[in-house]
Structure 1
Amino acid sequence: MTSSYAPVVIRRAVAAMFFMAGLVFSSWASRIATIQQKLSLSEAALGAVLFALPVGLMISLPLAGWAVNKVGSRKVLAVALMMYGVSLVGLGLVPNIYLLAANLVLFGMASNSVNISVNTQAVATEVLYKKPIMASFHGLWSLAGFVGASVGTLMIGQGVDPMPHFILIAIITVISVIVCLKYLHNDKGAEKKKSAFAKPDSALITLGLIAFCSMVIEGAMFDWSTIYFKKVVLAPGAWVGAGYTAGMCAMASGRFVADSFAARFGLKTTLQVSGTLSLTGLLLVVIFPTLIPSIIGFLFIGAGISSVVPLVYSAAGRSTTMQPGPAIAAVSTISFVGFLVGPPVIGFLAEASSLKVSFLFLAFMALLVIAFTTKAKV
């Protein structure tokens, strides 16, 4: 059974869920420094407690895929997104590092459950349109990131404590879920000809490896771009965040054009172009580590990584051997490992050699995106 509403109505409802997911996450990210100060956490203590978030993500990966297949992505998305908002409030209430870690585990579990269920909804919506639209959904997630960061900056500027800020976001989230719920795909009664627990086939594993390599680059860009501009590019103080900003803007913009590009040139070509853009940008910042070339390089990197994950999720959702939810969960498991290992690997390589050399490793990851895509049957 699916929603009886017009495709455009369903698309708007799913889009709203992507936006709210991005808003919740960026609201938390915008107040990390405030919570660190509130709890008097050292840099090391904050770094340690932040590992609780990926712990929650990893715990939920098999559970979320199973739940989506068992009760449908609509119910899982509704419950998970409301839990996401409520756990955000919990993060604003915690009085010590131990409860912060516990809440981050719950926050991570809700985050990944939302990720898998909302992407399953997006795959079903894409079927109605019979053309690529997945990247545009992820573009709205990125846009929500800018909105959440802006609201967070405003709240900090006005001296607003994280708790009322997070309560406001949670209320908006819950209301959005209630309003949009009836317009989402009701896939609980969908005919299940494919197994929920089948071992991922070679096609899914290859898709996972493509996303893995791209997520290594994405994770490193988030954590190391500012440091690269400060220590290698030697950017003036006001410009140390220019690379990060350029990359994020290009990533958000790229997601709104990726669907039309993929529809015209095909998934394989789009992923190959994405890898080539990332490779070009990374080589540019390594070979010409000065301000303007590096900003241009990060624009290329952001554009390159923008479409990989949404297009890979879309392809995984069309698996012939697994249901969409478990298939997306399988690919997400592989790719998320890349997001986790990327930043520390860059740190180790930088310690052993230099930060410039470590970015050559990221260029190798971009080369692997091209190689795996050439091999993939997509």
Structure 2
Amino acid sequence: MQGVCFASWASRIPTFKALMNLNDAELGSILFALPAGQIMTMFFSAKLTTHFGSKKMLQATAPMYAIALTFLALATTGWQLAAFLVLFGITGNLCNIALNTQGVAGENYYGKPIMSSFHGAWSIGNLTGALIALGLVNLKLGMYTHFWIIAAISLTNVAFNAKKLLNYNKPDTLAEKTKFFTMPQGILVLLGLIAFCSMATEGTMFDWSAIYFEDVVKLPHNRAIIGYASFMFMMASGRFLGVYLIGKFGRKNLLQISGAIISIGMALAVIFPNIFVAIIGFMLIGLGVSSIVPMVYSIAGNNKKVPAGKAITMVSSIGYFAFLFGPPLIGYISQLSSLRYSFGIISVFGLLITFVITKIKEIN
């Protein structure tokens, strides 16, 4: 449901832009608010998850995230929208940290590397939310009604399923003695750098893939979504294949392969910007990023030196800076040169992932 909620907001960005008469620069500035809210939680999300346990945190934050979605529809000015986006980001990341900590508990409970499947469910939710939005927009349903329909479905889901969450993540009394916020060190810094590279690529695809297909590949506006759809389809598929791929290649090898696939896919789309090659390139990018963040969170959460919730927060906090700076940076570089050139720079992130993995010895 988190994926459905996020896609519901993202699908309505053009509506907000039109209603508020925003230009691209104004909209870009407002969009900073969402990852800013997410990053703000780095100072307390781990402590809360460690103190209360991931089950209780999810029971509290999942409904808050759904309700925060409805607040967005109340915004009538850019400042109001930015303020509500900060709230949406805060509740979303609190929920996200608890979800991933619960995912680590699930891996330990079942004894299988299933984190990628959980992230695959988010990707399916994202696609589902986009399709629901498409239908409701064509029915000319207002945003407030749209968001409340999604919130009602989400709240119902929480009411029926929250009690079934694992109690595996008990409050950690040892972790209670640690500092409220701790800077990541050692392997967590390297894992955070990998997450940064992957999430910068994801953020670029979320925000710019349709524009790339319209401006560079030269598809008409009503077909430009093909690029985003092909990326999301392979991202979801790759995540559900994650358990099999980890078993076949191992986490370290799969991370290296994934980084290489990102670079190859981006290079294809940049060097040969025709529809067929670009679609293949975007699909490769989706496959490449699909398992990176789930694996990184799983490795961090199973770190023996730091509690799972705190370790995941440290890594995700570094990664979320990519969402804050990555997509806007693409726009600035594109303004100075071209969108095609800025996408080419993103291919370097894939190579960086492959390189950083060679420096980590603790991954099996």
The answer to whether TM tops 0.5 is: yes
Deviation readout 1:127-147 (Å, 9 max, x if unpaired): 112111001111111111111
Partner residue of 1:137?
Answer: 118
Mapped to 2, the partners of 1:162 and 1:224 lie a distance apart of 23
Q: How do residues 332-351 of structure 1 correspond to structure 2 at under 5 angstroms?
A: 332-351=316-335
**Partner of residue 166, structure 1:** 147
Equivalent residue letter for 1:156: V
Q: What's the counterpart of residue 7 of structure 2?
A: 26
User: 5 Å matches for 1:1-378?
Assistant: 20-187=1-168, 189-193=170-174, 196-197=178-179, 198-377=182-361, 378=363
Stretches of structure 2 that go unaligned for 5 or more consecutive residues are none
CA distance in 1, matches of 2:128, 2:215: 29
CA contact (8 A) 1:56 1:107 kept: yes
SS of 1:93 mapped into structure 2: coil
Partner Cα separation in structure 1 for residue 347 and residue 323 of structure 2: 15
CA-atom RMSD in angstroms: 1.9
Moved more, 108-117 or 69-78: 69-78
8 Å CA contact retained: 1:210, 1:372: yes
Quote how far apart the aligned CAs of 1:348 are. 3.2
Contact residue 92 and residue 166 of structure 1 kept, 8 A: yes
Q: What is the CA distance between 1:322 and its match in structure 2?
A: 0.9
CA shift, 1:257, in A, is 0.3
- AA in 2 matched with 1:206: L
Query: Which range moves more in the overlay, 275-284 or 116-125?
Result: 275-284
**For residues 269 and 314 of structure 1, what CA distance do their matches in structure 2 show?**
15
Query: Helix, strand or coil for the counterpart of 1:375?
Result: coil
Residues 180-207 of structure 1: CA deviation (Å, up to 9, x unaligned): 2221122564454457545423111111
CA deviation after TM superposition for structure 1 residue 355, in Å = 2.9
Amino acid at match of 1:293: V
Q: What TM-score, normalized by structure 2, do the two folds share?
A: 0.92
Which shifted more, 176-185 or 304-313?
A: 176-185
Alignment partners' CA distance in 1, 2:92 and 2:320: 13
Q: How many residues align?
A: 359
57-66 or 194-203, which deviates more: 194-203
> What is the one-letter code of the residue matched to 1:258?
G
> Offset at 1:288?
1.7
The normalised TM-score by structure 1 is 0.89
For residue 308 of structure 1, report the CA deviation from its aligned partner.
0.5
One-letter amino acid matched to 1:244: Y
| Corresponding letter in the other structure for 2:84 | N
Identity of aligned residues (%): 43
